[in-house]
Amino acid sequence: MTKNKFLLLGAGAALCIPSLAAKDRLTHNPAYTNTESILHVWSWNFPTIAQNMKQIADAGFTMIQTSPVQACFAPEGSGKKLFSENEGNWYFYYQPTDWTIGNNILGSRQQMKEMMDSAAKYDVKVIVDVLPNHTAFDIDAVSEGFTKAVGGRDKMYHSNGFAAIRDYNDRAQCTLEGTGGLPDVNTENPDFQKYYMQFVNELLGMGVKGFRYDTAKHIGVHSDPVDKAAGVKVNDFWDVATGRKAVKGVKLAVPEDELFIYGEVLQDRNVPEKEYADYMNQTASGYGHVIREMLDKESANGLDIINWRHEAAPEYLTTWVESHDTYCNAHESAHLTDPQIRAAYTFITARQNGTPLFFSRPAGSSPANVWGDNVSGARGNDNFFHPEVVAANKFRTAMKGQKEDIQVNDAGTVLLVNRGKKGAAVINVSHSANYVDLPTTLPAGTYRDVAHGKEFKVKNGRLKGALAPYASYILMK
C-alpha cells in the first residue's frame, strides 16, 4: 500500500547480523534480458484465479500476484464489494489480524491449495502480497494467538508507532511511526519474526514462488534509526525475511535466489534504495509516473522514457503502467483508458529489462466508473488477455538474449523498441492514426504483426507502416 493507506509501528528486540555477501543488484549487466511478466489478479478470489489459470497462461503471463492472503479485518457483512460503506472495502485485506492463511475476501487455505494446484498445472508462478509492517486499525480485532506469540500487545508495536507520520522523508518517522492510521508492527521483535516466518514458510510449502512486500520502505534497514525505547539494537527484519539469518530456529525455507521477491519501496527523497537492493528487487514507481505522464501528454517529447530513474540495476526492478494504489487510492491512473494502458504496457514489456506487472482492473470498469461491477472476488475485465497484451508477453519471452534499441519519432507519438535482429514492438501513444518511419535493426522484408495481422515493411534499415490510435504491434522474424 502507499503512505496514504496505512501506519507503521513496533517494539521488540533484535539479534546480531551475520556478515554475508549480498547479491549485487546495483551493477547493470548490459547483456542481461528479463523474460518474466506478472498479472496482478487484484481482488480475485482463489476459486476465480484457479478457474482462469489456463487463460492467464495462454495470455503469456509467467507469474501472478495475489492480494494478501492472511487473516484480516472482516466486520460483519463485509467481503462482498470492492468499495462500499456497508459491504466491505478492498483494503480490508491490508489490515492483518493474524499471520495465518485464508480470509473472507480471497478464500480458505483449502481453496488456496486448489488454486496452487491449478498454477502448477499450467506452469504459472504464484507471488503473494505480504505485509508484515502493520495490523488492522482495530487492534482489538487482532487474534489472541498472535498477540500471545509476540509477547503481548506492548511488544507488538514500536514504542511511538501510533503517532502519525508528518514527514515521509524523515526516516525515523517513516520507519517507526504510523501512516494512514494502521498500527506499525515491531518487525524487530524476534518473537514476531519467528511467527511471521512460520507463515512465510507455510506459503512456500504450498508452492508459492515469491513475495511482494507491501510498504517495504517503512521497515528499516541497518542505516535507519532503531527503536531504542523498545530495546532494539539493529534493524534486522530484512536479514531474517530474506533468509540471511535464522530467528529462534526458524529460517526462510527456500533459498532467496530461488524466489522472486520485490519490495514496495516507493521512491522519494532519503529512501535508501541501495541498501534495500542488498535484499530484494524494488518497484520502479518513478518510472511508472513518467510513463503515465507520457500517456497524458500523448507524447514522449520532453520526457526521458528510457532512463529507469532508480539506483538499482534495471534487471532488478518491477515496472508498471499503474498499480492497484495508483488506480484505487487517489485514482491518479483511473482516467486512463484500456487502450492507453495496453499501449504503455506493450512498451515496458517489450523492453530488455524490468519485470512488468499488469494490473487487472475491475470488470465493467471505465474512467467514469472506477469500481465497475464492484464485486469482490470476481475476475477483472478482459484487458489482460487482449491480443496486444498477449503478443507483448510472448514477445518478451521470445526476445531472450536480444538487446534493446529504442527509437521515438519527432512528435514523440510513435515508439519503436527494436530487439536485436529478431523482433520489434511499435506503439502509437496518440489518439490519432499515425505512421511509423523509424530506424530498425530488423532485416529487410515484409512483416505481419502478431496482434492484428497488420503488414509492415523494412527497407534500407527503416521500418514503415500505418498505425491505428493507441495501438501496438509486435513484429518477429
Q: Are 447 and 457 in contact (CB under 8 A)?
A: yes
- Which of 383, 434, 431 is CA-nearest to residue 410? 434
Q: Which of 129, 214, 315, 388 is catalytic?
A: 214
Say how far apart CA 461 and CA 43 lie, in whole Å.
46
Q: Which of 239, 264, 275, 388 is catalytic?
A: 264
Q: Is residue 455 annotated as a catalytic residue, yes or no? A: no
Q: Is residue 275 annotated as a catalytic residue, yes or no? A: no
- The HSE-up count of residue 441 (CA atoms within 13 Å, CB side) is 16
Say how far apart CA 201 and CA 117 lie, in whole Å.
17
The full 3-state SS of the chain, as one line of letters, equals CCCCCCCCCCCCCCCCCCCCCCCCCCCCCCCCCCCCCEEECCCECHHHHHHCHHHHHHCCCCEEEECCCEEECCCCCCCCCCEECCCEEHHHHHCEEEEEECECCCECHHHHHHHHHHHHHCCCEEEEEECCCECCCCHHHCCHHHHHHCCCHHHHECCCCCCECCCCCCHHHHHHCEECCECEECCCCHHHHHHHHHHHHHHHHCCCCEEEECCHHHCCCCCCCCCHHHCCCCCCHHHHHCCCCCECCECCCCCHHHCEEEECCCCCCCCCHHHHCCCCEEECHHHHHHHHHHHHHCCCCCCCCCCCCCCCCHHHEEEECCCHHHHHCCCCCCCCCHHHHHHHHHHHHHCCCCEEEEECCECCCECCECCCCCCCECCECHHHHCHHHHHHHHHHHHCCCCCEEEEECCCCCEEEEEECCCEEEEEECCCCCEEEEEECCCCCEEEECCCCCCEEEEECCEEEEEECCCCEEEEEC
Active centre residues (catalytic): 214, 264
